[in-house]
Amino acid sequence: MDASTIQRYGDELYQALIHREAVTPLTEREPGITIDDAYQIQLRMIQHRLDAGERVVGKKIGVTSKVVMDMLGVNQPDFGHLLSGMAYDEGQPISVGSLIAPRAEAEVAFILARDLEGPGVTAADVLRATDCVMPCFEIVDSRIRDWKIRIQDTVADNASCGVFTLGGVRRSPRDLDLALAGMVLEKNGEVISTSTGASVQGSPVNAVAWLANTLGRLGIALKAGDVILSGSQSPLVPVAAGDSLHCSVGGLGSASVRFVA
């Protein structure tokens, strides 16, 4: 894909974000689009946000479960950028009107204490580099119409990232086994899913190692202070105004989020 086409799609996705109007899947219009093309489109979209005054605060990992990989026909996760304008404090309501078709995911966030640069990063390296972990919610949102996505669509669309909120409880990942820690997700007081961290690449720690190594091959390091969303441990839950969600992780704590018009 040539540079002008990459720029055009990146510009289009940014305008879709700003105006909250979804676009036709890129894979329908460009059958030959590659994942590398999609990451270049993602960077163009992100650059618009940086030019508007936002800053990168971390990364998100997506497509971490086998179910989603099979759905998209891939055998590895993807990643996107977290920006300052995406962050919500716990308890701060999220307006569904600021998004297009939001869906909530419960997961575990990592805050890095020092830089982490691949290749060669192991799970043990991740644990040593992490300041703390906490339960969190990522509210994914697709600028692609009706969530009709293939892997290239979601990558180009910054891994379908919308906004996120971090729980208030922080613990060292060295104090618990994140692979075995159980998660319970409730929507409006009703339990809708249970899982363990093993559903994310065998452990959320492994997902962060994958990210560090993938970025390292591109010459990019994860930085001290970065927020890393390690991948969903729950189904994607559609949300509407009036909904509230609560997730609890054994040995770690809980996070909550609520939605308004």
Q: What percent of the chain has pLDDT over 90?
A: 92
What is the structure's pLDDT at 69? 74
C-alpha–C-alpha distance, residues 19 and 40, integer Å? 22
Q: Are 43 and 210 in contact (CB under 8 A)?
A: no
Segment among 12-16, 74-78, 92-96, 231-235 with least mean pLDDT:
74-78
What does pTM read for this prediction? 0.96
Query: With bands split at pLDDT 50, 70 and 90, how would you rate the model's confidence at 74?
Result: confident
Cβ contacts of 128 within 8 Å, gap of 6 or more: none
Q: Are 105 and 137 in contact (CB under 8 A)?
A: yes
Q: Are 104 and 75 in contact (CB under 8 A)?
A: no
What is the structure's pLDDT at 67? 65
Q: Tell me which residue of 10, 242, 13, 8 sits closest to 142, measured CA to CA.
A: 13
Q: What is the pLDDT of residues 124-164, one digit of tens each?
A: 999 999 999 999 999 999 999 999 999 999 999 999 999 99
Q: What is the pLDDT of residues 172-204, one digit of tens each?
A: 999 999 999 999 999 999 999 999 999 999 999
